[in-house]
Amino acid sequence: MLEAKEVTYRHPGGFYLLENIHFSIQKNEVVGLSGVSGAGKTTLAKILAGFLKPHYGTVNIQQQKRKAHPVQLIWQHPEQAVNPKWRIRKILQEAGNMDDTLFNELGIQSEWLTRFPQQLSGGELQRVCIARALMTNPDYVIADEVTTMLDPIAQAEIWQLLLRMADKKQFGLCVISHDRHLLDKVCDRIVRFEELSYD
Amino acid sequence: MTKKVMIPLILLIVLYTTSILIDKDMIQVQLLTKNHPPSLEHLFGTDWLGRDMFLRTLKGLELSIGIGLLTAVLSTMIGFLLSVLSTIHEKIDQVISWLVDLFLSLPHLVTLILISFTLGGGFKGVVIGLALTHWPQITRVLRGELLQLKEMPYVQLSGKFGQSFWWKVWHHYVPHVLPQLLVGFMLIFPHAILHEASITFLGFGLSADEPAIGIILSESMQYLTSGMWWLAFFPGVMLLIVILLFQSLANSVKNDLERDIQHEAFIEHSATNHSASENKSPYS
């Protein structure tokens, strides 16, 4: 179980963005996290995935010691999450050994591998980022508004993929979005961001 | 590589190889031909001991270019290493910034003379002195770049995929700052040569028996008043030419590296694939 307890965070010199947050997610569970824009959903995601350190409180992950982080975050903007100077092949290799069956399942075509990130569309690049996160065999995946900039068809494809992979590889999936309809569709359980903190 | 890169590069290589090929025995004392002004036989004239100034100048340039390259490589390496270290922790960064400010606040030449003098002068003293005084500028540039790069999501993600710090340095940092590294290296080079010449001229650098440009210039000062202008003029001009060549090389390499490669690749790609992808829809 991935569990955040009493997590408190503020940006340096700023106000408290997260105060006394409690959040937990089981393996093989799809949890939706909804909240208004600016509430701190992305900050919480970064804390859970180890990008930021909370000022107070703990994040407990039950896991064995491994090279890659057990919680993988898929960023809202895939073009920021890849080195613009690298070709797709190298971007994927950074996360581990190339896994052709995974690429097939995610619909990553072999001719993408020699291209630069700018030569792929947002949806295509997001698939690359998802593949990269899954190549590390994570215990938990946090999808932070991953389909916000995509058209409805691409959105549907990405969610089908993610749900199928979560089912197959048995990882806990945390879906962050402000789109209630989407969350109703894909999640086992939905929590509202405002409900996470109680005194 | 464009023509603008190749021309100064080839000229510098030709100059350096010819100067290597010159044997020291060819620059012997020949008192019969002393104090000759420039002629076809002695292009740059001869000095008060009858040595051919053309050969001496080239030999001096060999030493100068060697010292310049060595110190430029050393300073660039120091600069890169320090800027990488400053990305590790805020405290280390503060110490390094303080060191940079300290070295920049001291006059270059004074530090150089002090370091070179403490190390006993000579080749070793000059090289170490030059390397230890020329790193601050490039460190400042690289530090800024790397601190910015460190915060990029794709660099932070690299660690979460289990890659080590030095893997990150080699695969993310080095390619990113390669233009700055190369240009910094090539801008330090002429600086180092000039400083080598000036401390040698002042008597704190290389020993007087080595045919360095600085030695040649400082010796010629005694003979200027007797009208032997060629002793100082030609070596000085040659030094200037080498420095200008290197600077133009640096500028053209910089322009080359700053070309937007992905953008060009994108245009190329869309030009070749446009007709093919036009009627192909992923959902058809």
| CB-CB under 8 Å, A85 with B175 | yes
| CB-CB under 8 Å, A75 with B283 | no
Distance (Å) of CA B153 to CA A126, A195, B158: 14, 29, 9
Q: How many CB atoms lie within 10 A of CB B136?
A: 23
Nearest-angstrom CA–CA distance, B5 and B11? 11
Q: For B160, which of A50, A77, A153 is closest by C-beta distance?
A: A50
Chain B residue at shortest CA distance from A72: B160
Nearest-angstrom CA–CA distance, A162 and A43? 22
What is the tens place of the pLDDT at every residue in A122-153?
888 999 999 999 998 888 999 988 888 788 88
If pLDDT is split at 50, 70 and 90, which confidence band does A199 have? low
Q: For A119, which of B154, B175, B266 is closest by C-beta distance?
A: B266
Chain A residue at shortest CA distance from B157: A81
Task: State both tokens at B217.
Answer: 């210039």
What is the tens place of the pLDDT at every residue in A74-114?
998 998 999 998 999 999 999 888 888 889 888 889 899 99
Question: Mean pLDDT for chain A?
Answer: 87
| CB-CB under 8 Å, A153 with B283 | yes
| CB-CB under 8 Å, A85 with B262 | yes
Q: For B262, which of A49, A95, A116 is closest by C-beta distance?
A: A116
Per-residue confidence (pLDDT) for residue B265, from 0 to 100? 66
Give how far B152 is from chain A: nearest CA, Å.
Answer: 7
Cβ neighbours for B158, distance < 8 A, ≥ 6 positions apart:
A94, B167, B168, B171, B172
Task: State both tokens at B22.
Answer: 């010159």
Nearest-angstrom CA–CA distance, A130 and A107? 11
| CB-CB under 8 Å, A95 with B161 | yes
Nearest-angstrom CA–CA distance, B169 and B111? 31
| CB-CB under 8 Å, B163 with A119 | no
How much of chain A is in helix, strand and coil states, percent to nearest 5? 35, 25, 40
B195 in contact with A, Cβ within 8 Å: no
Chain B residue at shortest CA distance from A84: B262
Per-residue confidence (pLDDT) for residue B282, from 0 to 100? 47
B269 in contact with A, Cβ within 8 Å: yes
Write phi, then psi, for A174 (nearest 5 degrees).
-110, 120
Instruction: With a cut of 70, list the residues of chain B below it in pLDDT.
Output: 1, 260-266, 269, 272-284
| CB-CB under 8 Å, A116 with B160 | no
Nearest-angstrom CA–CA distance, B226 and B203? 22
Q: For A82, which of B154, B159, B162 is closest by C-beta distance?
A: B154
Nearest-angstrom CA–CA distance, A147 and A183? 12
- Write the DSSP string, A33-86: EE--TTSSHHHHHHHHTTSS--SEEEEEE-----SS-SEEEEPS-GGGSS-TTS
- Which of chain A's residues have a Cβ under 8 Å away from the Cβ of B171? 94
Taking every pair of Cα atoms in chain A, the longest distance, rounded to a whole number of angstroms, is 53
Contact predicate A41/A144, CB 8 Å: yes
Q: What angle do CA A188, A194, A198 make, to 5 degrees?
A: 105
Q: For A68, which of B153, B162, B269 is closest by C-beta distance?
A: B162
- Closest by Cα among A74, A95, A73, A154 to A120: A154
pLDDT at A195 over 90: no
Q: What angle do CA B197, B199, B204 make, to 5 degrees?
A: 130
Nearest-angstrom CA–CA distance, B169 and B84? 8
| CB-CB under 8 Å, B265 with A116 | yes
The alpha-helical segments, DSSP class H, found in B22-89 are 53-85
Nearest-angstrom CA–CA distance, A76 and B52? 71
0.90 exceeded by pTM: no
What is the tens place of the pLDDT at every residue in A30-66?
999 988 888 888 889 999 988 888 888 888 887 666 7
| CB-CB under 8 Å, B262 with A84 | yes
Per-residue confidence (pLDDT) for residue B281, from 0 to 100? 46
| CB-CB under 8 Å, B157 with A81 | yes
| CB-CB under 8 Å, B160 with A94 | no
Nearest-angstrom CA–CA distance, A70 and B195? 54
Chain B residue at shortest CA distance from A81: B154
